[in-house]
């Protein structure tokens, strides 16, 4: 069969890498792809949000399945557009994608599903939101309602920080339309865990849990990013807590969406926190997590393509997944200055040496090929260094040894990824 992967980041490289291993796949394309994805697929210069051009390409090439990686085209309705043209697509509809496109909508679904979550209020103007802060007690979680590339959430430790976050949304319009509505949520404490699940209407098939590192600096310091690393599985989540996540959060959410008449087809990402009162849901996303996918898929022993096809065709109940026991650790190598201003276009060296190390696979996130064929930096998050090992210590050592082999100007990565899996607090 012929498959098209939409997107050009580390998540999409991991998806293409896993899909390319399937004996069901004869031809694989990526749009737009990146320098690393070109090693497993043919890249075509079509942007991930150029929906009409992507559909034209899929029809021209006779694509059997399109897998959408990023959230923006899903929120824009790419799945609806493709299905209207008779094209099979793995990803939720525009209405279903509001689970990520609108945090207020997602919170309403959570309440309807009666899943455990934090208290929240939504606001559409600065004064009323600021009044909520004056009446409350810090810390606060301030969230832009719409898509903000992982940077629209602020943990405000005091009133001043909360006011600044509100000003960024309402007065400075730093996030554009995404910040026209803002949620102020209860701050919850505990370990954060991500669980991805295939969803086919009211049926779900969860994947192994992972843990993400959002802050840019060691010790969870500095501003939020799109993610600086991850690992899977997550020792801190017990079997009982995982069961509760599936039965008390994931399944009821799928039922609540179905009750609204929304037949969800794709991946639903649950951002969770393990509190002293049990697991609670922080947020939902409507696609594979980034960089969680880069730590989860290397552990998946099963072919991923049958699960995707079954989701699209309404046969998810027929599928089971098999996992490796080996843990995986993913370290994100970023451009210095990220998530604020950074430079790009620097040559990258050491990729061949790093990727040839035992248990290591390099997923490109923000790269492109130069005119001379060299690999250049082309984004804030540049590379994802993933490594499997017999235990977390070995996986972590392999990932960092590989990261040390990679060089480019202004390269930066956190030094504490998965340390808590070895030395839990």
Give the model confidence (pLDDT) of 107-123 as tens digits.
999 999 999 999 999 99
Q: Is the confidence at residue 151, as pLDDT, over 80?
A: no
Question: If DSSP codes are grouped into helix, strand and coil, which group holds residue 17?
Answer: helix
Same fold, 2-94 and 328-422: no
Q: Is the confidence at residue 425, as pLDDT, over 60?
A: no
- Output DSSP code: residue 97: T
Q: Is the confidence at residue 423, as pLDDT, over 80?
A: no
| pLDDT for 153 | 87
Considering the domain delimited by 2-94, tell me its CATH architecture: 3-Layer(aba) Sandwich (3.40)
Q: Is the confidence at residue 424, as pLDDT, over 90?
A: no
Class of domain 191-318 as given by CATH? alpha beta
Confirm if 144 and 175 have CB atoms less than 8 A apart.
yes
- Sign of the CA dihedral running 425, 363, 209, 277: positive
- Sign of the CA dihedral running 168, 170, 174, 179: positive
Mean pLDDT, range 325-346, rounded to an integer: 96
The more confidently predicted of residues 422 and 382 is 382
Q: Is the confidence at residue 2, as pLDDT, over 90?
A: yes
62: which 2 tokens? 């006779």
Q: Is the confidence at residue 70, as pLDDT, over 80?
A: yes
Mean pLDDT, range 165-169, rounded to an integer: 94
Give the CATH number of domain 119-186.
3.30.1490.20
Q: Is the confidence at residue 148, as pLDDT, over 90?
A: no
Give the CATH number of domain 328-422.
3.90.600.10
| pLDDT for 150 | 66
CA dihedral of 109, 111, 112, 115, whole degrees rounded to 10:
90
pLDDT-derived band at 152, boundaries 50, 70, 90: confident
Locate all alpha helices (DSSP H) within 186-325, ordered by sequence.
Answer: 239-245, 251-259, 292-296, 304-313
* Type and span of the H or E element at 388: strand 381-388
* Structural domain boundaries in the chain: 2-94, 119-186, 191-318, 328-422
Mean pLDDT of the chain: 96
149: which 2 tokens? 């590339």
pLDDT-derived band at 223, boundaries 50, 70, 90: confident
């Amino acid at each position: 069969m012929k498959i098209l992967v939409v997107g050009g980041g580390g998540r999409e490289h991991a998806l293409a890498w896993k899909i390319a291993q399937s004996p069901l796949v004869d031809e694989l394309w990526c749009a737009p792809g990146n320098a690393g994805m070109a090693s497993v697929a043919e890249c075509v210069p079509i942007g991930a949000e150029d929906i009409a051009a992507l559909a034209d390409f899929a029809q021209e090439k006779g694509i059997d399945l399109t897998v959408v990686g990023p959230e923006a085209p899903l929120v824009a309705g790419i799945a609806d557009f493709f299905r209207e043209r008779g094209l099979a697509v793995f990803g939720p509809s525009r209405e279903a994608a509001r689970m990520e496109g609108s945090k207020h909508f997602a919170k309403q679904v959570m309440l309807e599903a009666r899943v455990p979550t934090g208290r929240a209020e939504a606001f559409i103007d600065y004064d009323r939101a600021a009044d909520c802060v004056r009446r409350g007690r810090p810390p606060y979680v301030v969230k832009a309602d719409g898509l903000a590339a992982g940077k629209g959430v602020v943990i405000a430790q005091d009133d001043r920080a909360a006011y600044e976050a509100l000003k960024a949304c309402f007065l400075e319009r730093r996030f554009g339309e995404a910040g026209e509505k803002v949620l102020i949520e209860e701050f919850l404490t505990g370990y954060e865990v991500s669980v991805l699940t295939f969803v086919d209407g009211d049926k779900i098939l969860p994947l192994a849990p992972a843990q993400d590192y959002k802050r840019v600096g060691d010790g969870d310091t500095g501003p939020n990013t799109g993610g600086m690393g991850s690992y899977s599985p997550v020792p801190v989540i017990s079997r009982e807590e995982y069961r509760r996540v599936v039965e008390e959060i994931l399944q009821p959410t799928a039922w609540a969406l179905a009750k609204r008449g929304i037949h969800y087809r794709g991946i639903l990402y649950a951002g969770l926190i393990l509190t002293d009162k049990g697991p609670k849901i922080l947020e939902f996303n409507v696609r594979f997590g980034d960089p969680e996918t880069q730590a989860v898929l290397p552990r998946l022993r099963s072919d991923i393509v049958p699960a995707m096809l079954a989701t699209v065709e309404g046969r998810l109940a027929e599928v089971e997944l098999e996992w490796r026991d080996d843990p995986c650790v993913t370290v994100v190598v970023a451009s210095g200055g990220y998530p604020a201003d950074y430079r790009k276009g620097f040559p990258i060296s050491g990729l061949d040496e790093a990727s040839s190390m035992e248990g290591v696979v390099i997923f490109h996130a923000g790269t492109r090929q130069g005119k001379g064929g060299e690999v250049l930096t082309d984004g804030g998050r540049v590379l994802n260094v993933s490594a499997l090992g017999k235990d977390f210590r070995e996986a972590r050592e392999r990932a960092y040894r590989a990261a040390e082999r990679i060089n480019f100007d202004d390269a930066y990565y956190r030094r504490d990824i998965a340390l808590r899996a070895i030395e839990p607090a």
